[in-house]
Amino acid sequence: MATNKLALLRYKTIDECLKNRFRKWTLDDIIEKVANALYEYEGITSGVSKRTIQADIQVMRSDSLGYNAPIIVTDKRFYIYEDANYSITKSRINDADMDKMKEIVSVLKQLNGFNYFDEMSELIAKLENNVNKSAKKTKNFIQFDDNKKLKGIEHINPLYQAILNKMPLLIEYRSFKALKPSKEIYYPYLLKEHRNRWFLITKRKKTPHLHTMALDRIVEFQPLTREPYLEYEGIDFERYFNDLIGVTKSERDRAHRVILKFDKTNAPYVITKPLHHSQVVLSENEDGIIIRIDVVLNFELEKEILGFGECVKVMSPRNLQARIKRRVENAVKHYVEQVKDVK
């Protein structure tokens, strides 16, 4: 059973409503939300009928599209997913949609020869592999770095839409240090990926500084259609992360000249896979190489350096050298104490 674009938009909007447990949804509330989405994305001003939404809900409940959505009505008026973790975005793809995806992959493969699409090569290969695996039940022929237990991936598209449409968000967030989640209003500006983990660069309504939120720590969020959006002035987000490894940075942080010495075993690895795009080889001999990178001094940089263990030495700056030395010494203490305990 093929579905048209408008129907998919309605299903998606209904799904977003029912996933949002910040509020209770009557049928009229859902109709209003769908009508707003149709106007925003398709310019449709005639709204949507009650009968259409009721029919959409029945389709979502059924197996006709493979959704089998657990939609229930509470207090005889409020619609909600019985399973709080359910979403139609997690449902299997039907045959008609699979055929469309094959066509899309075919077109993307043809466009991949143009320079403009060079950065899409990995994405196209991954998409084609997943489509073939789903359609033909074939094995994986390409294995990408993927964490199946990674949380927060489902937030990427709705957060992207919020940024695109300049929509403030009420976000319930729980940091690693917090005992319980907190709810605040944020202005989203950028989605950033680092080592298969996603982050949202945003600003709290009540604070002047940027804030980096891990998507896997977001509990829930809700678009605030009546809250004015606040742009963040004075920063070019296209270049904001150019001078660092990772995502940890404040507006006041500036790049430092970092000099690192690698042994001969790791030298080829560091040359062929630079730590940062600013990397320059200062010297090279039979003992190894000395490189320079211009980056912000942050946790991710230290983690990168520590990952090379005894194969790297920080030459400068001194404060970074001291921090790495202290962390290595603290690590050694664990093993010294363990030997004592064994004795």
* Cis bond before residue 208 (omega within 30° of 0): no
Structure tokens at 286: 């039979």
Q: What per-residue confidence (pLDDT) applies to 50?
A: 94
Burial of 30 (0-12, 13-18, 19+ CB in 10 A): buried
Angle CA(10)–CA(12)–CA(14) in degrees, nearest 5? 70
Average pLDDT over residues 74-82: 93
Pair 188, 157: CB distance under 8 Å: no
Q: What per-residue confidence (pLDDT) applies to 57?
A: 95
Closest CA to 81 of 8, 9, 157, 20: 20
Q: Which residue has the higher pLDDT, 151 or 17?
A: 17
Average pLDDT over residues 147-164: 79
**C-alpha to C-alpha distance for 38 and 51, rounded to whole angstroms:** 16
* Side-by-side strand order, sheet with 312-316: 280-285, 288-295, 256-263, 312-316
Phi, psi values for residue 305, rounded to 5° = -65, -45
Structure tokens at 181: 């989640």
Radius of gyration of the chain (CA): 25
Number of Cβ within 10 Å of residue 127's Cβ equals 16
pLDDT digits (tens, 9 = 90+) for 168-184: 999 999 888 778 888 99
Burial of 21 (0-12, 13-18, 19+ CB in 10 A): middle
Closest CA to 291 of 321, 323, 320, 315: 315
Which pTM value belongs to this model? 0.63
2 band by pLDDT with thresholds 50, 70 and 90? very low
Closest CA to 214 of 163, 153, 168, 170: 153
Average pLDDT over residues 239-259: 91
Pair 189, 206: CB distance under 8 Å: no
Structure tokens at 104: 């899309």
**C-alpha to C-alpha distance for 258 and 240, rounded to whole angstroms:** 19
Q: What per-residue confidence (pLDDT) applies to 142?
A: 56
Structure tokens at 327: 């962390």
Pair 150, 197: CB distance under 8 Å: yes
Percent of the chain with pLDDT over 90: 50
Phi, psi values for residue 25, rounded to 5° = -115, 115
DSSP-based three-state secondary structure for 213:
strand
Angle CA(113)–CA(115)–CA(120) in degrees, nearest 5? 75
**C-alpha to C-alpha distance for 16 and 10, rounded to whole angstroms:** 10
- Any idea what DSSP says for residue 25? B
Pair 62, 1: CB distance under 8 Å: no
**C-alpha to C-alpha distance for 301 and 258, rounded to whole angstroms:** 10
Total count of residues recorded for the chain: 343
pLDDT digits (tens, 9 = 90+) for 207-232: 888 999 999 899 889 999 889 999 98
81: Cβ–Cβ under 8 A, 6 or more apart, which residues? 18, 19, 69, 70, 71, 72, 87
